[in-house]
Amino acid sequence: MLNNEERNLLVKTYKEMPDAAKLAKVYNVSVSSVYRLVRQMKDTGSVDLRTGSRGRKPSLTSEDIENIRQTVIEQPDITIHEINVKLGLSVCDETIRTKVAAMGLNYKKNAPRLGTGAA
């Protein structure tokens, strides 16, 4: 894998000597990698590694998190499942529980017990 300096040098060399096969041998990459880097430079203006878009994306927006915070502050006896239903979030209850715990808020752990009923 080429670092950013080598990538820039490869593209600069390609502009002076457009022989992808020779450059691929010199930089120990495939010919398609040479063409891909040249195309990336033309499209974006940079051949630097794109590391900012890696990893799992957050499932809750900052607005969702703020709504959860307000809901728990207004109704401290609400359960996690009730928060999920009330706000109409498209995540599992565990995701909400994790966020509430990370905020350091207290919430009701269980729904009211119905008991055994009439005998």
Q: What is the pTM of this model?
A: 0.52
- Are 66 and 96 in the same domain? yes
Which residue range(s) make up the domain with 86? 62-103
- Among 22, 40, 43, 24, CA closest to 32: 24
> What per-residue confidence (pLDDT) applies to 39?
93
Mean pLDDT value across residues 7-15 = 91
CA atoms within 13 A on the CB side of 50: 9
Total number of domains in the chain: 2
Query: Domain for residue 79, yes or no?
Result: yes
In a domain, 92, yes or no: yes
**C-beta atoms surrounding 96 within 10 Å:** 23
- CA distance between the termini of the chain: 73
110 in a domain, yes or no? no
* Residue 79: alpha-carbon gap to chain centroid: 27
What pLDDT is recorded for position 109? 67
Q: Count Cβ atoms within 10 A of the Cβ of residue 3 and give its class: 0-12 exposed, 13-18 middle, 19 or more buried.
A: exposed
pLDDT-derived band at 13 (thresholds 50, 70, 90) equals: very high
